[in-house]
Chains A and B, each alone.
Chain A
Amino acid sequence: MALNQKRIAPPSDDRRWKLVDATMRRYGYSSQAVIETLHTIQEVFGNISAESLAYVSGSLNVPPSKVYGVATFYNHFNMAPLGEHVLSVCTGTACYVKGSGQVVDWIKEEYGLEPGQTTPDNKLSFMVARCVGACGLAPVIMLDGEVVGRLSVDEMKKRIKEWISYDK
């Protein structure tokens, strides 16, 4: 029994929803396309908002709780928008052995941020990455996506301080 149903309209006339629609169309609006659609949403909007979850649920006919469950299961998806700048520390084993844990502790203390948090002025988000795969450069941090590595823990702290004081 095929349900003859009209597609629901996107939450707004933001043109980026067309990209989201394109992904869902590519997968034939299959209920299996939840993760792929969430990837597109995060890519084009930077985060996954409540309204986008409702749109995915309605468009793919997947129960709301299921979409929410999928979105919160995976590390890669973030519901809250990130700050203007993102400081990310790799906590893979190679980086850990070379002191990335100390860098994380120092950031917590110095900037009062726990991993995943953003400063109240929305300027800086602090993230930890699982393993960025640049183990040869360990320990590695990423400053707005740019990989910085092969520094001692002290040099690393200095580099972060410089980066944060510049334009923050």
Chain B
Amino acid sequence: MTNDELLALTEQERAEEEKYSHRIHICTGTGCVSSHSEKILETFQAEIKARGLEEKVKARQVGCMGLCAAGPIVSIQPDGLLYREMTPELVPAIMDSLGGEPFKDQLIDTNIPFFYRQEKNTLENAGLIDPERIEEYIAVGGYAAVVKALSEMTPAEVIQEVHTSGMRGRGGAGFKTGLKWSLVAKAAGDQKYLICNADEGDPGAFMDRSILESDPHRVLEGMVVAAYAVGASQGYIYVRAEYPLAIKRLKIAIKQAEKLGLLGQNICNTPFNFKIDLRLGAGAFVCGEETALMSSVSGNRGTPNPRPPFPAQSGINNCPTLINNVETFANIPGIITDGGKWFARIGTETSKGTKVFALTGKIKNTGLIEVPMGITLREIIYDIGGGIPDGHNLKAVQTGGPSGGCIPAEYLDATVDYESLKQLGSMMGSGGMIVIDDTSNMVDMARFFMKFSMEESCGKCIPCRVGTTMLYNLLGKFQAGQATRWDLKRLEELCDLVKNTSLCGLGQAAPNPIISTLRFFRQEYLDKLIDSEKTGETVE
């Protein structure tokens, strides 16, 4: 595929699009499919046919529009109307309203902060295109980055552009993407691998799944560019088996891209070859850790190994391997087509670009959002999220999942960037943001996360295997009102041990939910001590 061919395809697709006076977009992300949006799509299609409007109105499946709390969501283009909680019964009424007055009952006011405070970049196509048609992705400028990189740029220039963007890994730790790429590019070896980590395991996070379901080609495009930059010829997408829709759409997308010569042999008529295969994860949170992920991709138990050697030196089959997560790859096309400087215009000094969050818990507007780095937690929760429902008060915001921490309400004006979240004892993580109100007890929250870490520990190293179990049991003593001050001291010592001596990131971060709640909500632990020990001196 050349640039001219790409443009021709874009023109053709746009002309086709303009034939229709109205396009009805039905969300078919997992959240909306759960509430039967596929039935709504079928009903629209039947209704259009019954009314003989096939030439004028088109109903299509699209990806996530973000406001999952109000699903199933239907949008009418080009009017930009958005309808909430659709049912098949409402379809005729919506059809009647086309071209006239909107159907008021289910209309969502799009002039609310939930919409205008967001800044969509990786999600820009979500909800606008059919994720199962490559033509629609191309029509909105898709694969221009592959054509540009392969025809106009050297691998070094591609990496330089990523450096310029200041992009940091969206998987959690925030390692500089450009630096990671240059390490793999410099590593010696003819065979190099590339892995897209789509094993989103945080309970309460669904950013990656939404991106894959809504815009799978965007991720493939980012991978092709990365493979060209580092010199990889084989790529894997390690995706959770629990994401059947994402898997289905990725399989379709890979086939389509191969057919158009955007993936596979001689991409864009150049000597560059790159193949992508899917590998299904099978339910192990630890496989989010790079070395464990590689064990699993190779068909083994997903246990981590000491680093160094790092994957960039010795990964799959002992070859240099680049691992980035879904959202990181999804940011690449924009950086290449619009430039690293364009990307770096958003965000703070050290955290550039936008970040996708799954906003859930005790909040009015649960859903998927994309915001500029540097936004405050207050803006996310009260403006975009619409505040806390049922007259309750905000107690804390949990970010970073089982590896992160709880940020108390008094730090609401903290900005969302890698450093400030870390300073508050939490982390950016992959993007789960769970709002906790005053009905939750923080010791219970800590134990919930510890149960998760305990069950997800691979069992290889002693501090994580036995330590997380002991921490879980100790928290049980607190819950039962049986803990002494001695137990509190042991709890803190054990957190310190597990954090500093565990083999991999899962173990090292597992105590964070306890450490952060002890820091900000210590009184709740003291309140649960056995009665006779509630007052008095600390045991030393």
Interface residues of A (CB under 8 A from B): 30-36, 38-39, 62, 66, 69-70, 73-77, 91-98, 101, 129-138, 140, 147, 149
Return 9 A-B CB contacts under 8 Å, by A number: A32-B299, A33-B299, A66-B300, A73-B284, A97-B434, A97-B440, A130-B285, A133-B242, A136-B31
Q: Is B216 interfacial (CB-CB < 8 Å)?
A: no
Interface code B269-303, partner A: CB below 8 Å = 1, 0 otherwise? Answer: 00000000001111111000000000011111110
B 25-60 binary contact with A (CB < 8 Å = 1; else 0): 000001100110000000000000000000000000
Whether B299 contacts A91 by the Cβ 8 Å rule is no
Cα A121 to Cα B230 with chains together (Å)? 57
Partner of A73 from the list B30, B205, B301 (CB cut-off 8 Å) is B301
Instruction: For chain B, give the interface size range.
Output: 35 or more
| Residues of the B chain whose Cβ atoms lie less than 8 Å from the Cβ of A98 | 361-362
Q: Which residue of A30, A70, A138 is within 8 Å of B300 (Cβ)? A: A70
Contact assessment for A130 and B201 in the assembled complex, using a CB-CB cutoff below 8 Å: yes
Say whether A93 contacts B361, CB under 8 Å.
Answer: yes
> For residue A73, which residues in chain B have a CB less than 8 angstroms away from its CB?
284, 301-302, 458
Within residues 169 to 212 of chain B, which ones have a CB less than 8 A from any CB in chain A? Answer: 201-206, 209
* Contact partner, A135, options B68, B284, B362, B458, Cβ 8 Å: B68
Cα A39 to Cα B285 with chains together (Å): 17
- Nearest-Cβ distance from residue B368 to partner chain A, whole angstroms: 8
Known: A32-B298, A74-B283, A130-B203. Contact between A135 and B366, CB under 8 A? yes
Q: Give the Cβ gap from B92 to chain A, nearest Cβ, in Å.
A: 25
Q: Is the CB of B432 within 8 A of A93?
A: yes
Q: How far is the CB of B236 from chain A (nearest CB, A)?
A: 11
CB pair A76–B362 under 8 Å, yes or no, is no
**What mask results when residues 69 to 85 of chain B are scored 1 for a CB within 8 Å of chain A, else 0?**
10100000000000000
Looking at A38, A75, A95, A140, the one whose CB has the most chain B CB atoms below 10 A away is A75
Docked pose: A69 CA to B281 CA in angstroms: 15
Enumerate B199-229 residues with CB–CB distance to A below 8 Å.
201-206, 209
Q: State whether B299 touches A69 (Cβ < 8 A).
A: no
Q: B401 interface residue, CB < 8 Å from A?
A: yes
User: With an 8 A cutoff between CB atoms, is B243 at the interface?
Assistant: yes
* Complex CA distance for A36 and B419, rounded to whole angstroms: 39
CB proximity of B311 to chain A, nearest CB, Å: 17
**Bound complex: CA A134 to CA B285 (Å):** 18
B398 proximal to A (CB < 8 A) = yes
Given contacts A35-B296, A130-B283, A135-B205, 17 further A-B contacts (CB under 8 A): A34-B300, A62-B299, A73-B458, A74-B284, A75-B284, A93-B361, A93-B398, A93-B448, A94-B358, A96-B448, A97-B440, A98-B362, A136-B71, A136-B360, A137-B68, A140-B34, A149-B34
User: B298, A131: Cβ atoms under 8 Å?
Assistant: no
The verdict on B153 contacting chain A, using a C-beta distance below 8 Å, is no
Interface residues of B in 354-384 (CB under 8 A from A): 358, 360-362, 366-367
Contact A132–B282 (Cβ < 8 Å): no
Query: Which of B206, B285, B299, B360 gathers most chain A CB within 10 Å?
Result: B299
- Please state if A76 and B30 are interface contacts (CB–CB under 8 Å): no
Chain B's nearest CB lies how many Å from the CB of A42?
9
Q: How far is the CB of B202 from chain A (nearest CB, A)?
A: 7
| B462 within 8 A of partner (CB) | no
Task: Judge whether A96 and B242 touch: CB under 8 Å.
Answer: no
In the complex, the answer to whether B204 meets A131 with C-beta atoms within 8 Å is yes
**Docked CA distance A34–B280 (Å):** 11
Contact B434 A94 (CB under 8 A): yes
**Cα of A48 to Cα of B243 in the assembled complex, Å:** 20
A39/B280 contact (C-beta < 8 A), A31-B299, A135-B204 known: yes
Do the beta carbons of B209 and A133 come within 8 Å of each other?
yes
